Each structure stands twice: as C-alpha cells, then as structure tokens.
C-alpha cells in the first residue's frame, strides 16, 4: 500500500494507542463518580486536556472537548443566535464552516488568490462595522494553503478598537479551524490571536471521534448539548476519557517531532514534486511557501481524476481528488473554483498528502505508478497503444522498482 491521503485520515499512533488502552479496562470509571479510582480518572482526563491545551499555549479549562472538528465548528457558530448577523468566511473552508455560515443570510465569502491564500484586501473591504463572526481555517483542506491568521487578527483587533472608541457595542469573534495544520505548524493562541480555535484528533494520528474547541476568556458560548453539565455545561455527556487521553498523547508526539517531521516531509515533498514534474501538462497547485509541508495538490488538465484514482487503487496507491468529505458526493470543489481553475483543471485535480506512512522509497513507487496510469489514460484518450515505452525508458523512471515488486509498508515514524 502507498498511502497519499494523510489529510483524510491518519492511523492511530502507537503512543496514542498505548496511552488509551488502560482507560478501556482498568480505568474505565465514570469521571463524574465520587470514589477514588473515578476521581483519579477525572484527574488524568483533566491532565490530558491540559496537555492538549499546552501545545497551543492555552490551559485545559479553555478547551471544550467535542466529538470532532465538525462539532467544534458548530459549537463556535452557536455564539451567533441572530440569523441576520454578518459573517465572514474564506473561500476555502471545510463544509462544516460553509454549511454553518449559510444559515446566516448576511454571510460573505472572502476571496483567495491563485494559491488559495486569503486576499487581505478583500477581507478588509468585507470587514464592516456590522461583522460579528469571522471563520478562517489555519490551512485549507484541499490545497493546504496556510492562511494569514495573525494578520487577520491584527485587522480584527483594529476594528474592535475602532468600535470601542465609537462606543459601538457590536461584538466581533474570530474563529479558526485548525483541523489541518496542527502537527505541521507551531500553533500558539497568543500568536494567532483568535477567540476560538477548532482542533481535531483524527488528523494528527489521534483517534477519530474526538476534537476540541478552544474558547477565549472574552467569549461566552452557548451550550450545544444539554444534560449532565460536563465541560462547564457547554457540552454534556460522559467524557470520552480514552479518546481524550489518546488525543493528548498524539498531539504531544506531533509537537515533540514537529521540526524533524517538517524537515523530513519537506524533503519528501520536494522529491515527489520533481519526480512528477515531467507528467504531461501537470500543474502544481498552490505556493509551497504558503502551503502545509505535507500537501502536494496537482492538476492534470484533460484527464479525469476520478478515473486515475481507481486506476491507482488497482496498484494499491491511495489518494483523493479533493477533501474526502465532498469527494464521495461528486460536488465540484468550491476551493478549486475559488483559485480560478478551469473546469478541465478541476476535473483533473488530485490531492496528494504525505505523512508518516511515506518514505523516499514508496514515494518513488508512487511516482512510477502515477506516470504509468497517466500514460495509460493519455494513450486511451488518444486511442494509441497503451504501452508507454518512452516513459519507462526515461532516466527519471528507469531506476524505479517495477509495479510487480513487493510494496512493503514502511514502519510508522514514531521516533
């Protein structure tokens, strides 16, 4: 298997699994129970929350634990009860942000440039005295484009000052969906300057079904889930202790190896990028300078990305067209439209996202297989012979292993 879809899902790290397992058996107690072993579980739960918060420079009490990024985003939007409120989001948000924003008739979408990075001029223009809520991702899930959150925060702070000076009472909240990017970028709340930050366990080798919402001290959230009053009354329900403990282990591990993994992935991405550069008509999407180090989105105009994915699947190479969420529904990606791609470029776009399951060797194989299926598909389209001898004889691919050679899974990077 060659896995190139780390932005869609990551396996649970061994460290996270080891941290989690005792909480299924010996430490299974309900953290709300009064007796000692349950109180001990409560303490470990709070410690895990502190550990997660520490990575972003916050405290455990600043986090509301949720069942994942989507729930966190929904919880953040609940701040805005007034459906007439003005809302600003970027053009490359996850469906959870987009669908929530659409509930407000006065929502506006801020343009992005051809790299998928937010257009600060358009943002400045659209940030009015009535704007109440802004939601911009840390990095987009289709292009990996890193958004200028700190710059936006400064503009938000300026607007707040202006309102304060004028005695205007309209509140202004800034939410950032950091589902993609934590573990690849050093994320600190005071540097980002946001009021609300969404975290996701499943994207950083933690378990599925766990997320968090950082809530700044100036923010008074409304409860999304009513009941026993857990998570400061904002999100009732028995705490998912094993998942939170595993999330903490995973985010700490990612933080501990941030620099080395960034370096390793940057090298791997560069290798894959140059190996793919001779694919006919290939367009690399986004600007690597403003892109997550593990994202390599490409377009092969004239080819059908869905077909390529199924051809690659036969070769045990796995990747996506866009964000996995919308990919399965055949919706044309709003993000790819927003960066100005033509229909043919969108139809031929693939999202390669690297991670711990990759190494130099399996990326060489990935390149070999991509060349092979592109050649095959191009040949089919031009109705010539499917055999692509020129490609196989090229100096770049000649040294690659054949598709018949065993494709062993590299060990997970757990050092």
Q: How far is CA 173 from CA 107, 111, 132, 185, in A?
A: 14, 20, 6, 23
Scan residues 138-197 and list those touching a copy of itself (CB under 8 A). none
Q: Hey, what are 348's tokens?
A: 């031929």
User: Least distance to a copy of itself from the beta carbon of 26, Å?
Assistant: 8
Q: Interaction with a copy of itself in 38-67: which residues (CB under 8 A)?
A: 38, 66-67
Between the CA atoms of 127, 133, 139 and 145, what dihedral angle is there, to the nearest 10 degrees? Answer: -20
Encode 327-349: b = buried (16+ Cβ within 10 Å), e = exposed. Answer: beeeeebbbbebbebeeebbbbb
Instruction: Give the total of residues touching a copy of itself (CB under 8 A).
Output: 71
* Range in contact with a copy of itself (rule: CB under 8 A) among 31-39, 278-286, 333-341, 388-396: 31-39
Q: Segment contacting a copy of itself (CB under 8 A): 90-98, 121-129, 251-259, 376-384? A: 90-98
Q: Is 325 a catalytic residue?
A: yes
Q: How far is the CB of 30 from a copy of itself (least distance, A)?
A: 4
| Residue 251 contacts residue 52 (beta carbons within 8 Å) | yes
Q: Which is nearer to a copy of itself, 92 or 326 (CB)?
A: 326
- Which window, 30-38, 55-63, 149-157, 283-291, contacts a copy of itself (CB under 8 A)? 30-38
- The pair phi, psi for residue 399, each rounded to 5°, is -80, -5
Closer residue to a copy of itself, CB minimum distance, 94 or 371? 94
Closer by beta carbon to a copy of itself, 189 or else 245 = 245
CB of 414 to a copy of itself, least distance (A): 12
Q: Rounded to whole angstroms, how far apart are CA atoms 372 and 378?
A: 10
Q: Which residue in the set 90, 240, 358, 367 belongs to the binding site for a copy of itself (CB under 8 A)?
A: 240
CB of 127 to a copy of itself, least distance (A): 24
Would you give the binding string for a copy of itself spanning residues 101-120, x where CB under 8 A is met? --x-----------------
Q: Give the nearest distance from C-beta 52 to a copy of itself in angstroms.
A: 16
Q: How far is the CB of 3 from a copy of itself (least distance, A)?
A: 9
Looking at 8-16, 126-134, 260-268, 385-393, which segment touches a copy of itself (CB under 8 A)? 8-16
Q: Which of 117, 137, 176, 325 is catalytic?
A: 325
Q: Does 238 bind a copy of itself (CB under 8 A)?
A: yes
DSSP bridge partners of 90: 110
Residues numbered 301-330 forming contacts with a copy of itself, rule: CB under 8 A: 306, 309-310, 312-313, 318-321, 323-329
Q: Which CB sits closer to a copy of itself, 35 or 289?
A: 35
**To the nearest whole angstrom, how small is the minimum distance from the Cβ of residue 326 to a copy of itself?**
7
Cβ proximity to a copy of itself: between 110 and 311 the closer is 311
What residues numbered 201-230 form the site for a copy of itself, per CB under 8 A?
202, 207-210, 224-230
Looking at the annotation, which residues are catalytic?
325
């Amino acid at each position: 298997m060659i896995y190139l879809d780390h932005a869609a899902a990551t396996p649970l790290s061994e460290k996270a699994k080891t941290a989690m397992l005792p909480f299924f058996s010996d430490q299974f107690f309900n953290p709300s129970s009064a007796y000692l072993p349950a109180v001990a579980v409560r303490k470990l739960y709070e410690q895990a929350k502190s550990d997660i918060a520490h990575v972003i420079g916050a405290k455990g009490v600043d986090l509301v634990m949720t069942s994942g990024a989507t729930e966190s985003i929904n919880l953040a939007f609940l701040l805005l009860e007034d459906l007439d409120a003005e809302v600003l989001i970027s053009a490359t948000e996850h469906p959870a942000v987009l669908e929530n924003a659409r509930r407000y008739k006065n929502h506006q979408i801020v343009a992005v440039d051809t790299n998928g990075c937010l257009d600060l001029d358009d943002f400045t223009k659209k940030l009015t005295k009535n704007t109440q809520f802004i939601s911009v991702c840390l990095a987009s899930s289709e292009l990996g484009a890193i958004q200028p959150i700190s710059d936006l925060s400064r503009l938000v702070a300026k607007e707040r000052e202006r309102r304060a000076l004028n005695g205007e009472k309209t509140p202004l909240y800034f939410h950032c969906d950091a589902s993609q990017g934590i573990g690849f970028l050093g994320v600190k709340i005071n540097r980002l300057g946001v009021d609300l930050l969404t975290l996701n366990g499943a994207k950083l080798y933690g378990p599925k079904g766990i997320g968090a919402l950082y809530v700044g001290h100036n923010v008074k959230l409304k409860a999304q889930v009513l009941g026993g009053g857990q998570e400061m009354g904002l999100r009732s329900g028995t705490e998912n202790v094993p998942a939170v403990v595993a999330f903490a282990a995973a985010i700490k591990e990612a933080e501990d190896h941030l620099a080395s993994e960034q370096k390793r992935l940057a090298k791997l991405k560069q290798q894959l990028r140059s190996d793919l550069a001779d694919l006919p008509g290939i367009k690399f999407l986004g600007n690597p300078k403003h892109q997550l180090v593990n994202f390599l989105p490409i377009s092969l105009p004239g080819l059908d990305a869905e077909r390529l994915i199924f051809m690659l699947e036969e070769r045990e190479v796995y990747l996506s067209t866009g964000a996995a969420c919308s990919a399965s529904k055949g919706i044309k990606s709003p993000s790819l439209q927003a960066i100005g791609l033509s229909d043919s470029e969108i139809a031929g776009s693939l999202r390669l996202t690297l991670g711990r399951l990759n190494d130099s060797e399996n990326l060489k194989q990935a390149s070999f297989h991509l060349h092979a299926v592109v050649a095959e598909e191009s040949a089919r389209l031009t109705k010539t012979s499917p055999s692509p001898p020129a490609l196989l004889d090229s100096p770049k691919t000649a040294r690659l292993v054949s598709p018949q050679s065993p494709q062993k899974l590299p060990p997970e990077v757990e050092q």
